[in-house]
Chain A
Amino acid sequence: KAGVTQTPRYLIKTRGQQVTLSCSPISGHRSVSWYQQTPGQGLQFLFEYFSETQRNKGNFPGRFSGRQFSNSRSEMNVSTLELGDSALYLCASSLNPRDLYGYTFGSGTRLTVV
C-alpha cells in the first residue's frame, strides 16, 4: 500500500514569505500529526488532526497553523518565515489517535529559509 506522501520534498523560501506543506496519509488513516526536525532540537511536535479537528498542539508560535480535509489530507502553513524555521517537516499518520503502534512517517519536506 502507498505510504505517507509529503509534497514538495524540497522548498526554498525567503524570510517573510509564507509556505504551505501538504501531507497525504495512508489510505484509511484518519489521524495526521506534524513534527519539525532540526539537528539541535530533534523532532518537536507541532499539531495533530483527527476528523478535520485539531486535537493537540505543540509549543509553537501562531505563525504555524494547519488543517485537515474531509479526505484526511492535511496541510500546514507557516507565515512570515524566519531563518530559524529552516527544518525538515515530517508528518505521520495513523488509523486514529490511539493507534500509536501504527504510526507511519512520511519522508518529509525540507524547508530552507534564506
Chain B
Amino acid sequence: GQNIDQPTEMTATEGAIVQINCTYQTSGFNGLFWYQQHAGEAPTFLSYNVLDGLEEKGRFSSFLSRSKGYSYLLLKELQMKDSASYLCAVTSNTGNQFYFGTGTSLTVIP
C-alpha cells in the first residue's frame, strides 16, 4: 500500500523561509512530486525528484531521501501569493498513478 503524511496546516511570515515535510511509505517507489493548489484552482506542478538530493528552481527547492522515505519543499522569500495548499505525491513503477498526501495548507501573514 501507499501512505503519505504531511502536516495539515502551517503559517509563516512574508519574506521568511518555510519547509514543508512529507514522509512516505510506498512499494515500488518511482518518484516524488510537489504540487501547488490555490483555492478553487487546479493543482500546478512545482517539482519532481527521482534521485536523492536537492532540486532548486527559483524560490522553490525540493529535497528527497529515498532511504528515509522523506522529502521536503522549501519556499524562500515568502510572498502573500504563496498562500495555498501544497500537495506531496508519490508515483510507483507499476503505473501512471499518483498517490497524494492530504496536502498542507500554508498561510502567509504580513
Contacts and interface: CB of A to CB of B under 8 A. Distances in A.
Q: How large is the interface on A (under 10, 10 to 19, 20 to 34, 35 or more residues)?
A: 20 to 34
Contacts of A105: 35, 42-44
Contacts of A97: 95-96
Interface in A59-114: 90, 94, 97-101, 103-108
Given A105-B42, A107-B40, A45 B99 contact: yes
Q: How large is the interface on B (under 10, 10 to 19, 20 to 34, 35 or more residues)?
A: 20 to 34
B71 interface: no
Interface string A27-60: 0000101010000111111001010000110100
A21 interface: no
B97 interface: yes
A107 B37 CA distance: 10
